[in-house]
């Protein structure tokens, strides 16, 4: 895994935006996998800013989000459909018909999960999957002990995750208990993965992901199996890593190694 450590969260966000923007610039018809959550908001701000000021166009890009809460229709204020429209899609030139999220209000969430996998395959697969990480090491909503071979399916959220997401809902009781999420194997099938983590609260999970054993106990550790996975971290999120000196030798200032394209 490439580990890029930036001095602060703003620099980490800009670095992650560089990686997305480079792909979109090189391959305007690329397929992006997208995440939600607090960490992604400044990334979408930055990409939206580059759309306005640098002419970065998403007109031909297709997107697939990782997950959606079961029970919430797309127009629900707390759905990930709404999050994505407000945080990103309404601020760029993307064709809404090319944006995809699982339908949380599907009559048959299991069938919706299978159909979502098929839609990803029909689009030719995901070129770059953008990821955040939960404090418990989840990616998407693949909670600890999720099968490393899992595909898009229904997951029950842990109370830890519900407590972390409680801030978006009126009460803990209203915070959804289930989601449709891409599986770990779905994520690993993406041609490249880019995980952005900022802040001290993510330090233990990041250490488990990068340096811990490959284990369903830390679902993000599955990225160790991916041949093209990049973690973009700020110093706080990198604080529990033991090999920081090495990562900084290979990627000084979070730049590509001398052997990679810059």
Closest contact distance (angstroms) between CB of 19 and ligand F6R is 16
Q: Dihedral sign, CA of 254, 258, 259, 262?
A: positive
81 is catalytic: no
Closest contact distance (angstroms) between CB of 199 and ligand F6R is 8
How many Å from the N-terminal Cα to the C-terminal Cα in the chain? 17
Which range in 1-9, 32-40, 224-232, 241-249 contacts ligand F6R by CB under 6 A? 32-40
Residue whose CB is nearest to ligand F6R in the complex, by number: 132
Cβ proximity to ligand F6R, 67 vs 127, nearer residue: 67
**What are phi and psi for residue 108, nearest 5 degrees?**
-125, 90
Specify whether the backbone of 46 is left (phi greater than 0), alpha (psi in -120 to 50) or beta. alpha
62-81 binders of ligand F6R (CB under 6 A): 66-67
Query: Of the candidates 10, 22, 28, 38, which one interacts with ligand F6R according to CB under 6 A?
Result: 38
User: Cβ of 98: how many Cβ atoms within 10 Å?
Assistant: 17
For residues 119 and 110, give the distance between their C-alpha atoms in angstroms, rounded to a whole number: 14
**What are phi and psi for residue 154, nearest 5 degrees?**
-85, 135
Catalytic residue among 46, 127, 136, 165: 136
Cβ proximity to ligand F6R, 40 vs 54, nearer residue: 40
236 is catalytic: no
Cβ proximity to ligand F6R, 35 vs 231, nearer residue: 35
For residues 54 and 143, give the distance between their C-alpha atoms in angstroms, rounded to a whole number: 38
Catalytic residue among 67, 105, 112, 234: 67
36 contacts ligand F6R (rule: CB under 6 A): yes
Cβ proximity to ligand F6R, 6 vs 139, nearer residue: 139
Q: 211 to each of 18, 155, 203, how far by Cα in Å?
A: 25, 26, 12
Of 6, 59, 3, which Cα lies nearest the Cα of 28? 59
For residues 121 and 123, give the distance between their C-alpha atoms in angstroms, rounded to a whole number: 5
The pair of three-digit structure tokens given for residue 91, joined into one six-digit string: 């601020």
Catalytic residue among 138, 142, 234, 236: 138
Q: What is the residue whose two structure tokens read 């079961």? A: 70
Here's the x/- map for ligand F6R, 120-139, by CB under 6 A: it reads as ------------xxx---xx
Closest contact distance (angstroms) between CB of 197 and ligand F6R is 8
Which burial class, exposed, middle or buried, applies to 143 when counting CB atoms under 10 A from its CB (0-12, 13-18, 19+)? buried
Cβ proximity to ligand F6R, 58 vs 69, nearer residue: 69
Closest contact distance (angstroms) between CB of 246 and ligand F6R is 26
Cβ proximity to ligand F6R, 133 vs 184, nearer residue: 133
143 is catalytic: yes
List the catalytic residues.
Answer: 67, 136, 138, 143
Please report, as ranges, the residues that interact with ligand F6R according to CB under 6 A.
35-39, 66-67, 132-134, 138-140
């Amino acid at each position: 895994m490439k580990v890029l450590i930036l001095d602060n969260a703003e620099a980490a966000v800009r670095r992650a935006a560089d990686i997305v923007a480079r792909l979109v610039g090189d391959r305007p018809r690329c397929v992006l996998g997208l995440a939600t959550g607090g960490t992604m908001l400044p990334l979408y701000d930055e990409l939206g800013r580059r759309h306005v000021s640098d002419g970065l166009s998403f007109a031909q890009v297709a997107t697939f989000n990782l997950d959606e809460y079961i029970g919430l229709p797309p127009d629900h204020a707390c759905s990930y459909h709404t999050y994505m429209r407000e945080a990103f899609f309404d601020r760029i030139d993307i064709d809404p018909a090319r944006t995809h999220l699982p339908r949380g209000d599907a009559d048959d969430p299991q069938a919706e999960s299978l159909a979502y996998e098929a839609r990803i395959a029909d689009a030719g697969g995901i070129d770059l999957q953008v990821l955040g990480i939960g404090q418990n090491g989840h990616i998407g909503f693949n909670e600890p002990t999720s099968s490393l071979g899992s595909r898009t399916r229904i997951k029950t959220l842990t109370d830890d995750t519900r407590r972390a997401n409680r801030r978006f809902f009126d009460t803990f009781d209203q915070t959804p208990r289930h989601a449709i999420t891409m599986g770990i194997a779905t994520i690993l099938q993406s041609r490249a993965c880019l995980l952005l983590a900022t802040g001290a609260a993510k330090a233990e999970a990041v250490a488990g992901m990068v340096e811990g054993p490959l284990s369903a106990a830390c679902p993000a550790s599955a990225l160790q199996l991916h041949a093209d996975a990049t973690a973009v971290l700020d110093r706080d999120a990198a604080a529990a890593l033991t090999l920081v000196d090495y990562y900084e030798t290979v990627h000084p200032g979070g730049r590509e190694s001398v052997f990679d394209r810059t």
